[in-house]
Chains A and B, each alone.
Chain A
Amino acid sequence: MPEIRLKNLTKRFGKTIAVDNLDLVIQEGEFVTLLGPSGCGKTTTLRMIAGLETPSEGEIYIDETCVFSSEEGIDISPDKRNVGFLFQNYALWPHMTVYKNISFGLENLKWDKKKIKIRVEELLNMLRIAEYGDRYPSELSGGQQQRVAIARTLATGPKILFMDEPLSNLDAKLRMEMRTELKRLHMETDSTFVYVTHDQLEAMTLSTKICLLDEGLLQQFAPPLDIYHNPSNHFVADFVGSPNINILEARGNNVNLDEIKLDSGSLEFLFAPTTSSVNIRSNQKLLLGIRPEDIEITDKGDIQGKVYSTLPSGMETIVKIDVNNIILTCVVFGGVDFEMGTNVKIAFKSENNVLFDRVSKLNIASGRLM
């Protein structure tokens, strides 16, 4: 059963269009991430679903109930939508203790004192902040504040949970830890999570589905690995993955039945689509995307290059290779390093190289390089 459904959702602030005609269906129990660069409309989308922002146009359904419709003039207020919201800056009430912050929502539901106490303590223990119950938010570290904010949001047991960049204020180590916990939380609470982030790694690692936005427009809505291997356009390919995907400009021509001959000036490839066969115009301007981990440094390779720079991190080494003045990035796993300036040979090993049209930027085909 779909939990949240957006239809033609649009939000304008004066002249700027923050969210542009967004259609989205989020199923029950999913962990959906709204991903995109800063200012692309993620927060606005989330706030519209929660009822904190009034859409300019469109419809929103939660649990099959229409909570907003511009045409029918329906606008259910946030407190009636039965959702939880975790704010980017936590929005803890500075004048209330941790305990009070968490119990506030329960008091609004007119729970009795004893039940509230039991529930709050359960949450304090679950989030490992039991000893801080009597403190004020300003007396907590960032990570602790974040746990309090999560506890406050979870207290009333909402079936749908919105989170707006909840990890962005934490340091790298803590962020890593909290990711694990969020994923566990998703499983334990059995709720639907809608999660906002601009960090592609976070989106890739956490979600069951990613909704990638750019300038208010939906780019792709698919599971993380689909997004990674089969990006719908150049923007998506470029946005996910670290280090970035290699993009080469090329001109292409159909050859040999269903292969494409690519010419990027100093390099020539033969591209064999693994999806369906494609027809292109002769000399069509294209972009070729090759993931760094798909380039192999091997003596068996048939392309000659020179090591331009290396960034060894222990687990892997990012090597930039100069091939006839085109710089290609590749990743070598394990603790290996290369001398800068040495000659190496490379080969393309995967079937997931992507071809985009250079004008429309759309995905034309995935395939093998020969």
Chain B
Amino acid sequence: MKYRNKVKAFLKKPQNVILLSLAFILVYLTVVPMITIILDTFTVHQSELMRVKGSKVGDLTLYHWGKVLFSSSSKKIFYEPFLNTLIVSLGTCFVAIGLGGLVAWLVTRTNIRFKGIISTLFIFPYIMPSWTLAMAWLNFFKNSRVGGAPGIFTALFGIETADWFAYGPFPIIVVLGLHYAPFAYILIGGILRNMDANLEEAALILKASRGKIMRKITIPIVLPAILSTFLLVFSSAMSAFAVPAFLGTSVRYQVLTTQMFRTLNGLNPGYGYIMALLMIGIGILILGVNQKIIGTRKSFTTITGKSSNIAYINLRNFKIPISVALIVFIGMVCILPLVTFAIESFIMEPGNYSWSNFTTLFWVGEGNPQIANGEPGILRNPTIFNGLWNSIRLSISVAFIAGSVGILAGYAIVKKKGTRLSTMVNNLAFFPYLMPSMAFGAIYLSMFAIKRGFIPSLYGSFALLVLVGAVKYLPFASRASVGAMHQLSNEIEEAGTIQGIGWTKRMLRIIIPIQKSSFISGYLLPFISSMRELSLFILLVTPSTRILTTMLFQYNEKGWSQYANAINLLIVLFVVGSSLIVNRVTGASIDKGIGGH
């Protein structure tokens, strides 16, 4: 009896119900796939029958592990791509943290000009699909040896670019670094903004040099933000597919994801799952190290005090040169790519930038049987419109589900802070972030291809895309919401409870309105992310559920780069436009979604 009452009392609190339900659902949607992946690495798949001699589909086997890790071909299959992945991910972190941290420091601590424009534009590379910059890089720097036609740079200056500069690890690192630099900017900038400038001034008065203040005070204090950036950027870079695919494939520079695409899409899914598993392992390892470092005694709680009058460091004579250089740089990264897409989408024969070669065929042409199988220009192409429509409704559905579940998760996690259930749900909600998108897609494909319990077979359905997107982007929403709830004092809700206001009304009338912009940010990020996501969906789409990004990839693979460029321009304008509008109208922003302040 006593026991039953206890259970009853427990279930009376909405936060307990939310946590319990989320725990069940998330275990099913994240841990089960994880276990499936593990099992899959020991299982014979249909396409592997030929290799694993004398086996049936579903048999247990050590063949994959042996082949990937301990065979004569494992160097080519696994170790080389693995090493490349590590190089690319570390390089990306280095570029992103260095660049983003520097800009954050300049904007928050010095008297640099154009702060408003810089902080708006600097976020752009993250809003834009990651391959945008990769394509721009190719448009600019491709050479005729590898790329077929010369890029704009060669056309302008007559200098043939070197292979290492145009393709492979160098451009991949630069492009991914630029793409994720806003992470560092937002997270480090957030701490710098909240960090009491007195901490640095105290050191200055005690006669520490500027360099020493940087090394001994500023950097150690923003270390948690740097680590957190490192975690996010490393995991993202590791599971990035589009950029290495665009910039590495033509010179056979393979990383784990591109290798995974070949194996999952081709003959050896078992190999692919092993790679996915190892990548998840690395992600969890970094997460663990990260939490260990942040959770030490050197608590950083004191840094969130109100920052009193900050005196900006005077850049003196460098002020104008640095400001201008930064603006020009940001302009090149944000605006120039769009210009190249526009140009590339208007030329008939790639590489020939003379006026007579310009055409509007790929935008509004009816389709010429001699070119690209008579595909009509994208503005009168029903398949493109279908793709656009699919992309939009997919992104809206994903944002709606991830955002709403994220709010509930954040609410319950913070309410029950410190309990085991809360910690578990918090980690479960972050877990999808560590799953490489493509493997996540692959596993959902195999998990939901058949009817499971009350869930019908979702193979080829739109619902499957929505499901995988919602789970994958839940981490953004729950982070935003946990952050928002942390800032909200418990008493605000209690004041409502005491007056007898029911839970739903408390949520809708008190809590959500107060932190509206943070919560909306929790919707915004999943929306933008699914709008420009490729690798998560690439294995799941069927002709009827094709979305813009997968179409772009297909056009690019077929070598119809004009269409690809045109679609790219369309996506970028749409994503940037919608995020700016949401930001203006609601005050929600990418910063808040990522966890900045």
Contact = CB atoms under 8 A, between A and B. Distances in A.
B503 interface: no
A19 to B, nearest CB: 12
B201 A79 contact: no
Contacts of A77: 204
B205 A47 contact: no
A95 B223 CA distance: 10
A136 B311 contact: no
Interface in B261-310: 297-303, 305, 308-309
Contacts of B220: 95
B212 interface: yes
A105 B206 contact: yes
A89 B198 contact: yes
Given A79-B204, A93-B217, A108 B302 contact: no
B162 interface: no
Given A91-B196, A108-B208, A138 B301 contact: yes
Interface string B29-45: 00000000000000000
A47 B299 CA distance: 28
A85 interface: yes
Interface in A85-143: 85, 87-89, 91-95, 104-105, 108-109, 136-139
Contact of A104 (B203, B298, B305): B203
A120 B303 CA distance: 25
B207 A87 contact: no
A177 B266 CA distance: 77
Given A53-B309, A109-B207, A94 B300 contact: yes
Given A78-B205, A136-B298, A89 B311 contact: no
Contacts of B205: 50, 52, 78-79, 83-85
Interface string B192-204: 0000101101111
A156 B298 CA distance: 25
A158 B314 CA distance: 26
Contacts of B217: 93
A50 B303 CA distance: 23
A54 interface: yes
A104 B208 contact: yes
A109 B311 CA distance: 25
Contact of A91 (B199, B207, B309, B314): B199
Contacts of A44: 309
Given A87-B198, A94-B298, A136-B299, A43 B308 contact: yes
B221 interface: yes
A201 B38 CA distance: 71
A138 B201 CA distance: 20
Interface in B307-339: 308-309, 311, 314
B305 A89 contact: yes
A42 to B, nearest CB: 12
B303 A78 contact: no
Contacts of B309: 43-44, 47, 53
A105 B205 CA distance: 9
Centre residue among B205, B217, B223, B308 by max chain A CB count within 10 A? B205
A47 B311 contact: yes
A53 B212 CA distance: 21
Given A85-B202, A89-B196, A89-B305, A95 B298 contact: yes
B201 A52 contact: yes
Given A44-B309, A53-B311, A91-B198, A108 B298 contact: no
Given A108-B208, A138-B302, A139-B297, A91 B311 contact: no
Contact of B207 (A43, A108, A136): A108
Nearest to A137: B302
A94 B299 contact: yes
Interface residues of B, number: 29
A94 B301 contact: yes
A53 B314 CA distance: 11
Interface string B172-209: 00000000000000000000000010110111111110
A105 B217 CA distance: 13
A91 to B, nearest CB: 4
A78 B204 contact: yes
A151 B85 CA distance: 50
Contacts of B203: 93, 104
A136 B221 CA distance: 13
Nearest to A77: B204
A105 B212 CA distance: 12
Centre residue among A79, A94, A105 by max chain B CB count within 10 A? A94
A138 B295 CA distance: 13
Contacts of A91: 196, 198-199, 201-202
Given A92-B302, A94-B303, A139-B297, A156 B206 contact: yes
A108 B206 contact: yes
Contacts of B298: 94-95, 136, 138
A105 B207 contact: yes
B299 A138 contact: yes
A79 B208 contact: yes
Contact of A52 (B212, B302, B311): B311
Contacts of B308: 43, 88-89
A25 B432 CA distance: 65
A93 B308 CA distance: 16
A79 B199 CA distance: 14
Given A47-B311, A94-B221, A136 B202 contact: no
A54 B299 CA distance: 33
Interface string B546-562: 00000000000000000
Contacts of A139: 297, 299
Contacts of A78: 201, 204-205
B201 A95 contact: no
Interface in A22-64: 43-44, 47, 50, 52-54
Given A47-B311, A94-B301, A138-B301, A85 B208 contact: no
A139 B221 CA distance: 17
B206 A104 contact: yes
Contacts of B208: 79, 104, 108
Centre residue among A43, A104, A156 by max chain B CB count within 10 A? A104
Contacts of A136: 297-299
Nearest to B219: A95
B55 to A, nearest CB: 57
Nearest to B306: A89
A78 B462 CA distance: 64
A130 B196 CA distance: 27
A43 B197 CA distance: 14
A176 to B, nearest CB: 24
Contacts of A85: 201-202, 205
Contacts of B305: 89
A94 B212 CA distance: 16
Centre residue among B202, B208, B223 by max chain A CB count within 10 A? B202
Contacts of B201: 52, 78, 85, 87, 91
Contacts of B297: 136, 138-139
Given A50-B205, A79-B207, A93 B199 contact: yes
A203 to B, nearest CB: 21
Nearest to A86: B202
Contacts of A52: 201, 204-205, 311
B349 to A, nearest CB: 58
12 contacts: A53-B311, A84-B205, A85-B202, A87-B198, A89-B196, A91-B202, A93-B221, A94-B303, A104-B206, A108-B208, A108-B212, A109-B207
Interface of B: 196, 198-199, 201-208, 212, 216-217, 220-221, 223, 297-303, 305, 308-309, 311, 314
The 9 closest A-B CB pairs, nearest first, are A105-B206, A91-B198, A138-B299, A79-B207, A108-B207, A91-B202, A87-B198, A95-B220, A94-B302
Given A43-B308, A50-B205, 17 more contacts: A47-B311, A52-B204, A52-B311, A54-B311, A54-B314, A79-B207, A83-B205, A85-B202, A85-B205, A88-B198, A89-B196, A89-B198, A89-B308, A94-B221, A94-B302, A95-B223, A104-B208
